[in-house]
Amino acid sequence: MTLIDGKAVSEQVKKEIAAEVADIVAKGGKRPHLAAILVGHDGGSETYVAAKVKACEVCGFKSTLIRYESDVTEEELLAKVRELNADADVDGFIVQLPLPPHISEQKVIETIDYRKDVDGFHPINVGRLSIGLPCYISATPNGIMELLRRYQIDTRGKKCVILGRSNIVGKPMAMLMMQKAVPGDATVTVCHSRSKDLVRECQEADILIAAMGQPNFVKADMVKEGAVVIDVGTTRVPDASKKSGFKLTGDVKFDEVAPKCSYITPVPGGVGPMTIVSLMKNTLLAGKKAIY
């Protein structure tokens, strides 16, 4: 069993980005600039945004954090999005989700200029992904593809089962794994809460990608010998022994599943660090105007 070390890979990718940025700046080019809008004080969002700002420093990017309280109006937020769209110095920006219930996430996403949509959520980027055109790819699926690539995990013709059909992970992951590419060329099945024979589907998977947000859902009896298991889940589960009062728990019951796997990602330290690095890669592409 090989443990897929997302932390180590992410550090390597950040070094590669930093070297490229240093080269761009040395040649008189513009330093890539990522902006982030954070609404309210959601614990998970605070942690993510802090990690993104730190990653920008490591990669040599300029970063701007724009904060609003959770009572900000939708119109005020959309006005800021339009302002960032028009700001020539900002190469890419994100609006950290989730947003308060009185704000339409879809409206915000669609207002972002797709050429600056480094989260890859705009319908134009999603549409381009679905037909295999260059685009900004949603960060978590992109990070998973990078791990498969760097660990040289063969995906061609393999049965890939994805648990979860979210717009952020499940759907784009399915599109990437079925494309004519390396990694890719897999036979993809997407399972969800309405799927029948979900256990049997999992047992047949050569590659199992769990992205349901249900802690310890995947047990040993659901995984075949030698499978590759990618755990996207990160749920805060109360744990009195931890200083924070919780521990991050994946969708896979790691201790019992790991011995059966050829490769497996841990939680934390697997897919998580790669998500942030994928955002950095998209920002570099935006800075270079490599896609649009």
* Known binding-site positions for NADP(+): 164-166, 234
Active site annotation includes 255:
no
Exposed / middle / buried, residue 66 (Cβ in 10 Å: 0-12, 13-18, 19+): middle
Rounded Cα distance between 58 and 173, Å, is: 27
Q: Which residues contact 16 (CB under 8 A, 6 or more apart)?
A: none
Rounded Cα distance between 43 and 201, Å, is: 35
- Phi, psi (5° rounding) for residue 88? -65, -20
Catalytic residue among 96, 158, 251, 281: 96
Active site annotation includes 96:
yes
Binding-site residues sit at 164-166, 234
Active site annotation includes 221:
no
Catalytic residue among 119, 206, 231, 251: 119
Beta strands in 150-203 (DSSP E): 159-163, 187-191
Residue 122 corresponds to which tokens in the numbers above? 């705009």
Q: Specify whether the CB–CB gap between 147 and 140 falls below 8 A.
A: no
Catalytic residue among 5, 14, 52, 281: 52
Beta strands in 20-168 (DSSP E): 33-39, 62-68, 92-95, 159-163
Q: Which residues are catalytic?
A: 52, 96, 119
